[in-house]
Amino acid sequence: MSSNSKSNSLQNYPTPLSPPLPSISRDIELARAMTASSKSSLFGLSGRDVLYEDEWLIAVNKPKGIYCDTVLASVPRFLSDSPDSDQLCQENQSSTLELHLANRLDRDTSGVMVITKSHKVASMLVKAFTNHKVQKTYVAFCIGSAPQSERITIKSGHGRSKFGAWRVYAAGDVGRKLPGGSRVRDMETTFEVLSINGQRGYREPSECMKDEENSIVVEEKAVTDVDAKKDEILVRAFPRSGRTHQIRLHCQYLGASIVCTRATFSFVRIPKFNKLANRMHDG
């Protein structure tokens, strides 16, 4: 292929609309990946990591910097070494455990992972996630420009740029091909502003639902003002989709970088799993 043909081919790829990443970000990402690989090779699930267990599933706290598949791979050894788990297996399961990840977390994110012990339960949970019967809620502390609206829903595209970084793309680019062969996927998050610089105070979701919502459909590059005042912003985020770094990407696009997050989830119209969620939240 000639240089002109290559140039024309590259021009057909959609353009990322996220604020530009600093040049040092590549070195930071490489260092994180190397650290995660090292930590993951030494990781072993222990009793203090287990939040809940029964004959159907086990809920564990995934540490930051550990891959989900590493946690999954460590479960059989933990179960074989645990007297309580052995008893559960003997009483309720007559065949070999069929372990599946019910949910995933980003490598650098800590939080609850649910691992099912049978194909049947895994199928139920996959269906629940697919049908949006599982609601994921994140409370995030951000630094940046305070939004004008108290409730914002942002819709955009999501994908990897030519440098391999996850970026925000235009909503109109969903379905278009990206370098490497992947395609832009849809991404949607609703944010509720809980407080700005400590003002307003924390509110329950039912109270936030009364606020007028501002909808943003991303079609243009993010505009950043480096001289703008940096506020401390507490937001509650409800990701409608489950894309990698979704909340971080949308916060970044809105002009506020995440400092830390806390995640919970609940099951809608599934009583058995709601009891599980309550047990994990109480713990």
**φ and ψ at residue 230, rounded to 5 degrees:** -100, 110
SS (H, E, C) the chain: CCHHHHHHHHHCCCCCCCCCCCCCHHHHHHHHHHHHHHHHHHCCCCHHHEEEECCCEEEEEECCCCCHHHHHHHHHHHHHHCHHHHHHHHHHCCCCCCCEECCCCCCCCCEEEEEECCHHHHHHHHHHHHCCCEEEEEEEEEEECCCCCCEEEEEEEEEECCCCCEEEECHHHCCCECCCCCECEEEEEEEEEEEECCECCCCCHHHHCCCCEEEEECCCCCCCCCCCCCEEEEEEEEECCCCCCHHHHHHHHHCEEEEEEEEEEEECCCHHHHHHHHHHHHC
As annotated, the active-site residues are 106
Count of residues for the chain?
283
Q: Which of 90, 89, 92, 91 is nearest to 75 (CA)?
A: 89
> Which amino acid, 131?
N
Query: Which burial class, exposed, middle or buried, applies to 167 when counting CB atoms under 10 A from its CB (0-12, 13-18, 19+)?
Result: buried
* Owner of token pair 């909808």: 215
